[in-house]
Amino acid sequence: MSDNWIVLIPQDPQYLPTPEQQESASRRLREILSEADEIEVSVSPTVQYFDCGGNFESVACPHCGTHLDDGWWPETMSDDYDDGFKLAQYELPCCARQVGLQDLVYEKPQGFGKFGLSAMNPGFADLNEQQLKELEEILGTKLQKIYQHI
């Protein structure tokens, strides 16, 4: 058995919507993805990693495109983690620029945040642009969409 999740996280990893916003966004997502097995809200006082599971293909430098999967990325992930991600700035091994883990180019997309709103097994349903915008208005933030396959 495998599960597919659509996960929505704020573009700003530090952003935390109010409980009222969370509640109302969760209710709206339940209406939009009515086929989903479950709608889940996750809230953490520290920044967490929202991965894309089996959809992971690569992680690359946003400046020069070099793949960083081997060595640098896993090491930096563990250096950055201390009861939550600090999202500090690090010098890239490829082109020596400074980035945070949230600035890297992930295929498929994944990200970091204190808040996530997820739908489990939505079937063939997906959020269109307008529905995403509606949830962004409810939550007061731009959102990033992650497709997680477990």
Q: Which residues bind Zn ion (CB under 5 A)?
A: 61, 63-64, 66, 92, 94-95
Minimum distance of Zn ion from residue 3's CB (angstroms): 34
Residue 67 or residue 108: which is nearer to Zn ion going by CB?
Answer: 67
Minimum distance of Zn ion from residue 60's CB (angstroms): 8
Q: Residue 82 burial (CB < 10 Å; 0-12/13-18/19+)?
A: exposed
Minimum distance of Zn ion from residue 55's CB (angstroms): 23
Residue nearest Zn ion by beta-carbon distance: 61
Q: How many residues does the chain have?
A: 150
Residue 95 or residue 150: which is nearer to Zn ion going by CB?
Answer: 95
CB contact at 8 A, 148 and 15: no
One-letter amino acid for residue 92 of the chain: L
Residue 67 or residue 145: which is nearer to Zn ion going by CB?
Answer: 67
Q: What is the dihedral of CA 68, 74, 79, 81, to 10 degrees?
A: 120
